Homo-oligomer: A and B are copies of this chain.
Amino acid sequence: MEESDIKLRDGRIIRGEAPLNLETPFEKLDSFITPTESFYVRTHFPIPSIDRDAWWLRIEGEVEKPFAINYEELLDLEWKTIPATLECAGNNRSFLEPKVKGVQWGLGAVGTAEWTGVPLSILLDRAGVKANASEIILEGADGGVLEDPKSPPGELRFARSIPVEKARRDVLLAYKMNGIDLPAEHGFPVRAIVPGWYAMASVKWLQRIIVADQPFTGYYQTIDYAYWERREAIAELTPLTKMQVKAQISKPSQDEIIPANSLVCVQGVAWTSDGKIAKVELSTDGASTWSEAKLLGEPKPNAWQLWEFNWQTPAAAGKQTLIARATDSFGRTQPSQRDRDHGNYMINHLLPIAVEVR
């Protein structure tokens, strides 16, 4: 995309206006925390306008004591603050060839914020989850009618599920983002934060929690936000869950002009779902040879890690290709080729950044 084609809103790239989809300009990344005003925005419907004094969150389904809680009561509960990286499951989609449907994200549908909120386990304990429960469905207040002939007829609300075990372990009902009340575009008054999972699970504008005793098969769990997994040589439709290990280069940016015969600091971030980033490597020769980059700061669970690499640029002018590759503590690394079973999602194969040495 030509620079001149890019439209910005509040410094973010407009990838869609109805519904609103804004991308962080990734080349501006310079800190562990993404400022709230730069954080990417992914919506599926108009942003709900919610009055916090009229808001209730209901907990129901396979529980002993269904109840509803309001905003004030929620803020009185035990809370914690965690950093967590959220990545849209379609991040990097614009790099796919051939082109596929969906928001054409570049590198910036990912960000890290500090989220403050109540552990979901506290509400589940209060409700008393029955022994037969297997999943927790999170329902947002955002909804509308989809054009997809495969969608349910009539009004649809955004909803997604997580296993009970994951819900108890580390899911947060967040009401603050980087120390301030959640902005409307990020899910005011309360959103889920599901650490390590693609962000479709971190349901915004949360209004209902349904404890279920069988796998949830709502639209955003099956027709959308799913991929094909091969079992017994048959492809099975599988809901997206964990983020795939990935490194991205923030500097230099695509097509940037770099001085020849200089020391250039290549910078970026890397993240995975669980475990931590074990190493980030950089190739300046089209994935023939790799050099280890320097990881910056201490690894934090469920959050990206900054890295840098001092690159001695060649003396001769010409095109150069930079490729970053992350490996995590479970030994998972990025594939060199796109896995087509992943459909429009889970894009973590090696992406070259082309620069021009002059």
A228-249 interface bits toward B, Cβ cutoff 8 Å, 1 = contact, 0 = none: 1000101111100000000000
Chain B residues near A61: list those with CB within 8 A. Answer: 232
A9 within 8 A of B: no
A18-47 interface bits toward B, Cβ cutoff 8 Å, 1 = contact, 0 = none: 000000000000000000000000000000
Chain B residues near A156: list those with CB within 8 A. Answer: 235
How many copies of the shown chain assemble into the complex?
2
A215 within 8 A of B: yes
Chain B residues near A154: list those with CB within 8 A. Answer: 340
The residue of chain B having its C-beta at the shortest distance from the C-beta of A101 within the complex is B149
Contact A234 B150 (CB under 8 A): no
User: Which of the residues B217, B218, B223, B238 comes within 8 Å of A150, measured between beta carbons?
Assistant: B223
Task: Given A340-B154, A341-B153, answer yes or no on A234-B101 (Cβ-Cβ < 8 Å).
Answer: no
How far is B218's CA from A276's CA once the two chains are assembled, in angstroms?
Answer: 33
Chain B residues near A212: list those with CB within 8 A. Answer: 232
Contact B341 A232 (CB under 8 A): no
How far is B210's CA from A157's CA once the two chains are assembled, in angstroms?
Answer: 36
- The CB with the most chain B CB atoms within 10 A, among A139, A154, A215, A232, is that of A232
User: Which of the residues B139, B149, B237 comes within 8 Å of A234, measured between beta carbons?
Assistant: B139
Chain B residues near A198: list those with CB within 8 A. Answer: none
Contact A223 B235 (CB under 8 A): no
How far is B212's CA from A248's CA once the two chains are assembled, in angstroms?
Answer: 39
Which residues of A does B touch, CB under 8 Å? 60-61, 100-101, 137, 139, 149-150, 152-154, 156-157, 159, 210, 212, 215-219, 221-223, 228, 232, 234-238, 340-341, 343
A-B contact pairs, 11 of them (CB 8 A): A60-B232, A137-B232, A139-B234, A150-B223, A152-B235, A152-B341, A216-B236, A217-B236, A219-B235, A221-B237, A223-B223
